[in-house]
Amino acid sequence: MQTGPREIVTPYRPIPLDVPEGMKPNEFFNSTENLNDLVHNNGLLQNPEGLLLYRKALGHSNEFDTSIIYNTSRSILDPLGRPVRRTQVPEAVKNVWNRMNQIIFAYMLECYPDPDAHLVLAGEASLDATWPLTSPGVPSIRMLHNHFIVFDKAELRQAPLADADNPNLTDGGQHSLFQAHMREVYRAFFDGLDLRILRPCQAGSCRIALTGYPQGLPSWEVQGGAEALKEVRFWREYDTILKGFIDFYRTFFGQVSTRNSPMPRDIHFPELVEERLLFNNDFLKTAKMVRDRCIHDARYANAIRWQPAFKQLIYRNDRGQLIVTISQNSIGNAITELLGVVVKRVPDAEAYARSEPALLERLLEVRRRLVEADLGEGIATPYWGA
């Protein structure tokens, strides 16, 4: 079997959504009106904390695919003022969010126990792109949401190899700025974080053999497996990884923007930043290289995302271990592409209809478990009851 990224085709039912005249689709997707459609046509569950569980109408997988979004569309009308990462979510909301994550992930592992048969993953994405709303690649909904996805590995094995030069597959490994020029600095910085449940992976042990991904990304094994996700400590460490990444990203691009700039405000680990970044020659040399290129290359400068942009995943590797990884999302890749899965969505209502009954059965069961745990109330739509 040849190892390499795979491209699968996922059919979907075309969405009857009318975009007002004069608006671009990705402008409309950030509106309260669009979120109303998301609730009424695809909503599964919502709770007083503002967390909405919904079916992915344009999904990655028709095996299992759902998301939770922190729906602040009515309480914060400015799309750029909404929480877009876990560190910006109120603690009471995050507590509920983490419990929902744990229950859904446990359900996926229960339904799909064999790591040779199914690829199981969950993850969150930064949605605070600093590009204009109309630019290609800007997230369609500027609110924090995460994904829960299962792929059938038999389908992946039969899928054709994806184009290795697909820009969305080049976020890690030798193509990533951090990995290419500051690999040791990056790893040493993460090694300074206080982690007990998350243990750094040995080189190559976290890759999915079928695809060869992830590539070049810092990864950690979850000691204790699925049971560890029931512990508050795990979710604190999951946040610690994100906070460390944000500190690294902000510090680096602060130096790119302004030579010898002071430490960014509200840094999470100031001593670590001072000792391992601001006094590291490789780190500052790379910042100078990027700064010099920005000055002379307008296209390159325009493509930079000056604020933290990332994908953070929990997935199961081939040995059945749960792995956490985080990626510098410099290009705008999909969450699945960090694991070497490129999804080509095609409108095909008939093909989608064949998968829908089993998919909905699983989504409604996970909803039942969330309701049972007092994590929300069911939503009725034209496709299912409350």
* 259-304 per-position pLDDT tens digit: 999 999 999 999 999 999 999 999 999 999 999 999 999 888 877 7
Percent over 90 (pLDDT), the chain:
65
Residue 259 belongs to a domain: yes
pLDDT higher than threshold 70 for residue 30: no
Let me know whether 161 and 288 are in one domain. Answer: no
Structure tokens that stand for 319 in this block: 């040995």
CA distances, 209 to each of 214, 215, 319, 340 (Å): 10, 12, 10, 10
Q: Is 324 part of a structural domain of the chain? A: no
Asked if 40 and 365 count as a contact pair (C-beta separation under 8 A), the reply is no
In a domain, 246, yes or no: yes
The pLDDT value given to residue 141: 65
Confidence of residue 173 (pLDDT cuts 50, 70, 90): very low
**Residue matched to tokens 């979907």:** 12
262 and 347 both lie in a single domain? no
| pLDDT confidence tier of residue 72, bands split at 50, 70 and 90 | confident
Q: What is the pLDDT of residue 26?
A: 64
User: What is the reported pLDDT for 181?
Assistant: 83
- Both 142 and 190 in one domain: the answer is no
pLDDT computed for residue 63 by the predictor = 97
CB 251 within 8 A of CB 273: yes
* Confidence check: pLDDT of 172 > 60: no
* Residue 116, pLDDT score: 97
Confidence of residue 62 (pLDDT cuts 50, 70, 90): very high
Note down the domain range covering 206.
Answer: 172-310
Q: Which amino acid belongs to residue 262?
A: P
3-state secondary structure of 71: coil
Does residue 34 have a pLDDT over 50? yes
pLDDT score at 84: 83
Q: Does 78 have pLDDT greater than 90?
A: no
Owner of token pair 């003022």: 81
Question: Do residue 195 and residue 293 come from a single domain?
Answer: yes
pLDDT at res. 174: 42
**262 and 337, same domain (yes or no):** no
pLDDT of residue 379: 97
Residue 323 lies in a domain: no
What's the number of domains the chain is made of?
A: 2
Six token digits for residue 4: 């390499």
Question: 130 with 221, same domain?
Answer: no
Q: Does residue 175 have a pLDDT over 90?
A: no
Question: What does the alpha-carbon distance between residue 288 and residue 372 come to, in Å, rounded to a whole number?
Answer: 54
Q: 197-242: per-residue pLDDT in tens? A: 999 998 778 999 999 999 888 899 999 999 999 999 999 999 999 9
Q: Are 343 and 205 within one domain?
A: no
At 355-376, the pLDDT tens digits run: 999 999 999 999 999 999 999 9
C-alpha neighbours within 13 Å on the C-beta side of residue 312: 24
pLDDT of residue 89: 92
With contact defined as beta carbons under 8 Å apart, do 226 and 107 qualify? no
Taking 50 as the threshold, does the pLDDT of residue 311 lie above it? yes
Q: Respond yes or no on whether the N-terminal peptide bond of residue 214 is cis (omega within 30° of 0).
A: yes
How far out from the chain centre does Cα 63 lie? 19
In a domain, 116, yes or no: yes
Report the residue count for the chain.
386
Quick one: pLDDT at residue 290? 94
Query: What is the rounded distance in angstroms from the CA atom of residue 239 to the CA atom of residue 180?
Result: 25
135 confidence band (pLDDT: 50, 70, 90): low
Contacts of 264 (CB under 8 A, 6+ apart): 247, 250, 251, 254
* Range ranked top by mean pLDDT from 22-36, 161-175, 218-232: 218-232
pLDDT band at 144 (very low <50, low <70, confident <90, very high): confident
**Residues 110, 12 within the same domain:** yes
Residue 100 confidence (pLDDT) above 60: yes
Domain boundary among the residues 260, 279, 310 is at 310
